[in-house]
């Protein structure tokens, strides 16, 4: 059982470039999330989705976009990358909205130079 899979694991971008972080889960979870984690900081919610076709902004959505065309996939798009987007990005999923158990992917380390 793969759980939550993220790609790529590492990426270096130049300022102004765009890219998509891929996330897929095979647990049939309706709820999916994108977080970023900066050193010494807690995980910050970027976007979340409660099901296919439904997405909403989290705490720090600026500079990002998401889509949820299927239950399995929840890609995160970075437009016009900036150094402030250098971070570790985690995708996660959960069975329902009130559970405290999130299943995380292994993370994607992004550096913007």
Q: Do residues 73 and 55 touch, judged by C-beta distance below 8 A? A: no
Size of the site for another protein (CB under 8 A): 18
User: How near is the Cβ of 48 to another protein at its closest, in Å?
Assistant: 7
Write the DSSP string, 27-43: S--SEEEEEEE-TTS--
Among 48, 55, 71, 93, binds another protein (CB under 8 A): 48
| Residues 65-94 within binding reach of another protein (CB under 8 A) | 90
Residue 35 backbone dihedrals phi, psi, to 5 degrees: -120, 155
Q: Do residues 6 and 21 touch, judged by C-beta distance below 8 A? A: yes
Decide whether 32 or 105 has the Cβ nearer to another protein.
105
Residues that bind another protein (CB under 8 A): 35, 40-43, 45, 48, 58, 90, 97-98, 100-102, 104-107
């Amino acid at each position: 059982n793969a759980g939550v899979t993220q790609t790529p694991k590492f990426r270096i971008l130049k300022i102004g470039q765009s890219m998509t972080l891929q996330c897929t889960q095979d647990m049939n979870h309706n709820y999916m999330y994108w977080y970023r984690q900066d050193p010494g900081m807690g995980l910050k919610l970027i976007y979340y989705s409660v099901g296919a076709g439904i997405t909403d902004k989290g705490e720090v959505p600026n500079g990002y976009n998401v889509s949820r065309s299927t239950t399995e996939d929840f890609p995160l798009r970075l437009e016009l990358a900036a150094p402030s987007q250098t971070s570790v990005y985690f995708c996660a999923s959960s069975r329902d909205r009130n559970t405290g158990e999130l299943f995380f992917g292994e993370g994607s380390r992004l550096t913007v130079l």
